[in-house]
Structure 1
Amino acid sequence: MGCQSCAVGGCGSKAKITTDAGAEVATKTAGCSSGGCSSGGCNKLNSFDWLSDMTPGSLSMTPSGIAVVEVKFKGGRKEYFRNVHNLDLTTGDFVACEMASGYHLGAVSMQGDLVRLQLKRKHVTVNDDTKVIQRVATARDLEKHEQAILRDLPSLYRAREIVRELKLQMKLSDVEFQSDNTKATFYYSSEDRVDFRELIKMLAGEFKVRVEMRQISLRQEAGRLGGLGSCGRELCCSTWLTDFKNITTSAARYQNLSLNPAKLSGQCGRLKCCLNYELDTYVDALRDIPTVEKPLETQKGRAFLQKTDIFRKIMWFGYSSESTWHPLPIKRVLEIVALNKQGVIPESFDVLTPIGEREVVTAAALNADLTQLDKKYATRSSSSRNKKRKKR
């Protein structure tokens, strides 16, 4: 059977091919590699167990002497269970876990001392009320689990039709049936409060199960559904990111990004989480860059700040009477600002002043990389044209 921890389902399923000798061989379908889907579905929110080679010690136990195991369910959801029966478990094994009513199948994602560190980091307390692992999943359990997964997609479509009939302002994004088919959890997102008492009655009568409605944020919804970002990679929230921090437009301003909502928004419609990744580096670099509150005064005219290269520490100024921008190092900008405060107006940007030496930066030197790139592609285009002429 395929791995059941991803939202797509069916990853890792078997396909039969016929060899030259006429024998049929079972292979994994395209997109799966070593049991993991390269599109990220099977590896959603995986954690590398860097303590797996160590012998489990007493630190991996609870105060009562019972080991704790991390189990992953559909959508990357992870919970911790006690191994009270001392089962011999291996990462990836399917186990039947105790739930509020019945049981649910999940895959063992982590065990040993690393679980203890995760419990400490997430401030999770393990006590007698913590649910336990009942048994290793049998073939019958896996079959029922597969049937429960097959109910997810048709039930989601039918539930959306019921929501439209009731005219509720909510968006159903996913549904998860418990492995024993006694409970269904519907995940939804909504801007306002929703009275879904009538909806629960209709869903319970339609699917003959106990229904739970769970509201999730738009970021959590994107993490459950998955997808590709504008960078070409899988969404961070669906592969490794679990903590959603507050993101403001000031993060884009610090990085000199265009305040275009279409470019700054992710799949969830909110500001991209990656805006915070390099923010601290930009803030540190901006400490050395002066704040120019008014244009620089020169005898040629007033020069306005057009652009700032934060990491190269170069500020570009342009006169209102011309379209050319002049690159100035920070030291030279501070010199001119100091002169203007003293009432001195320098002749131009290039004239040396007694306030210290400055670095000479020319536009040609700054654009040297672009010039080399243009020459490179110009040579390629000319050679391709010559080949086409020879063919003719």
Structure 2
Amino acid sequence: MSCGCKISGDSGHSCGTKSGSGCESVNTCGNSYKLSVFDWLSNINNPAMSQTDFVEVRFKNDRKFFYKNVNNLPLHMGSVITVESSPGHDIGVVSLTGELVKIQMKKKFVTEDNPLKIYRLANQKDIEVWQESRTKEEPVKIQARKIAYGLNIDMKITDVEYQGDGGKVTFYYTSDTRVDFRQLIKEFAGTFRTKIDMKQIGYRQEAAKIGGIGSCGRELCCSTWLTDFRSVNTNAARYQQLSINPQKLAGQCGKLKCCLNYELDSYLDALSDFPPSSSTIDTVNGKAFCIKIDVFKKKMWFAYVERSMAWYDLDVVDVKKMIAQNKNGEKSSPLEDIKVHDIPVRSVDLIQENTIDRFERKNKNSGKNSNRKKPNNNSQRPNQNPDNKAAANQPEKKPNNSERNQENQNKPSQNQQNQNKPAQNQKPQTDQPQNQQPKKFKKKFPPKRDDNA
């Protein structure tokens, strides 16, 4: 069995409890369930001798209620208990104990008159029936939607919750109009063979039950900590200089986002120093009207009536002075003279985000490894020297017949001299022509020389 930290109440949870009394580390699970409460009074000793008998018990999704511990059971956060219900009993998990329960009861306007009772710690049989009921909720919801669609009822069944003992099933639905579900309840009772309870909820409560990720990248506020849903008006977006775009201002529920009210007071305090956006200025060059406002920079953009395409940004202090001059019957100076000239600040890209070649690999050790990469021409060509290079550039002269005979006569004496030299001083002779270059993809061999010719 599990401590029930998960929404569905199954046993696959990191707490790893195997007892009905719950786990000691359930309060360190973080937001393991919706609308979790951090007990900041857990490490503080109660100065009063008497402790409260009420505990907060949570059920599926965001449903919570307060029960009285009449039997003085040793309860702590994560204990799986059996509580009073109508009819039968229900299974829940203790989510909060101690003096902080009184503050939560006062916040939710729950009185201590005629409280519901805690029967006992849940045994093995109670846990098995509870988890078996949890597994039937999803197929029951799909089947209930089919029945409602067959009866042409304009409603959406959002969630289904079975009671811990399986004696009652609650259907949460949303609808824009009043629903006559008398025939629907008969169909549900005949199909599911249990007591049926229908509860209508709003679209914000639907988003709180289902949960999800908002446009900010975090979990929805309504499913984590927000309990009181205040009305959100489009004026909140106008005060914050936001574009009235329904796709951007709407949340998961289809209504305006609740977070529009979070910073509204700060914007209203900042806008109290601004003149009204409908104010006009009478200048020497003509009348000017306000186009837009920047709350953070404390600037207002004005444009002439005749030339509305040219905008001039002015400080709020200058605008107030110009309006005061108009009240005294004087025309203010033109907007071109009062316009704030912003000095462009040259930004330094320290992390090189704007450079195009920041992903390319640069050779940092180009100076060190330059000698290794360059081939050694002297080792590859041992007979090459500057004299040979100069001779290679000169055109080759063809020998005459007298020069050939003289060369043949001197050749035996040269061979005898080479035989008398030691083998170490001998160098390989290359008789290839110097100016002749091999063609690509074809290798040419020089013709063999006949010494006896």
Same fold (TM over 0.5): yes
By how many angstroms is 1:322 displaced? 6.3
Q: Confirm whether residue 382 of structure 1 aligns to residue 367 of structure 2.
A: no
Structure 2 matches for 1:66-85, cutoff 5 A? 67-85=53-71
1:342 equivalent in structure 2: 328
Over aligned residue pairs, what C-alpha RMSD do you find?
2.9
Given the superposition, is the C-alpha separation of residues 8 and 173 from structure 1 closer, same or farther in structure 2, using an over 3 Å criterion?
Answer: same
Given the superposition, is the C-alpha separation of residues 237 and 209 from structure 1 closer, same or farther in structure 2, using an over 3 Å criterion?
Answer: same
Given the superposition, is the C-alpha separation of residues 255 and 2 from structure 1 closer, same or farther in structure 2, using an over 3 Å criterion?
Answer: farther
- 3-state secondary structure, aligned to 2:116: coil
Gaps of 5+ in 1: 15-24, 27-33, 62-66, 353-359
1:152 equivalent in structure 2: 137
- 3-state secondary structure, aligned to 2:207: helix
Gaps of 5+ in 2: 18-24, 365-453
CA deviation map 1:5-61 (0-9, x unaligned):
5546658447xxxxxxxxxx99xxxxxxx7699995x23100111111234545643
2:121 equivalent in structure 1: 136
CA–CA distance in 1 between the matches of 2:350 and 2:302? Answer: 30
CA–CA distance in 2 between the matches of 1:38 and 1:97? Answer: 24
- One of 34, 37, 43 as aligned partner of 1:47: 37
Higher RCO (CA-CA < 8 Å; seq separation 6+): 1
By how many angstroms is 1:323 displaced? 4.3
CA–CA distance in 2 between the matches of 1:120 and 1:87? Answer: 24
1:204 equivalent in structure 2: 189
Percent identical pairs in the alignment equals: 43
1:298 equivalent in structure 2: 283
Q: Are the counterparts in 2 of residues 306 and 318 from structure 1 also a CA contact under 8 Å? A: yes
- One of 88, 97, 110 as aligned partner of 1:102: 88
Q: Are the counterparts in 1 of residues 162 and 168 from structure 2 also a CA contact under 8 Å? A: yes
Given the superposition, is the C-alpha separation of residues 247 and 43 from structure 1 closer, same or farther in structure 2, using an over 3 Å criterion?
Answer: same
Q: Confirm whether residue 239 of structure 1 aligns to residue 224 of structure 2.
A: yes
By how many angstroms is 1:179 displaced? 1.1
CA–CA distance in 2 between the matches of 1:386 and 1:219? Answer: 46
- One of 289, 313, 333 as aligned partner of 1:327: 313
Q: Are the counterparts in 2 of residues 172 and 187 from structure 1 also a CA contact under 8 Å? A: yes
Structure 2 matches for 1:1-392, cutoff 5 A? 1=1, 4=4, 6-7=6-7, 10=10, 12-13=12-13, 40=31, 42-56=32-46, 57-58=48-49, 60-61=51-52, 67-127=53-113, 129-319=114-304, 321=307, 323-349=309-335, 351=337, 361-364=340-343, 368=345, 372=347, 376=349, 379-382=352-355, 384=357, 387=360
Q: Are the counterparts in 2 of residues 12 and 37 from structure 1 also a CA contact under 8 Å? A: no
Task: Count matched residues.
Answer: 355
- 3-state secondary structure, aligned to 1:223: helix
Q: Are the counterparts in 2 of residues 170 and 189 from structure 1 also a CA contact under 8 Å? A: yes
By how many angstroms is 1:75 displaced? 1.1
- 3-state secondary structure, aligned to 1:124: coil
By how many angstroms is 1:319 displaced? 4.1
TM-score (ref. length: structure 2): 0.71
CA–CA distance in 2 between the matches of 1:327 and 1:202? Answer: 67
CA–CA distance in 2 between the matches of 1:103 and 1:12? Answer: 25
Which structure is higher in strand share?
A: 1
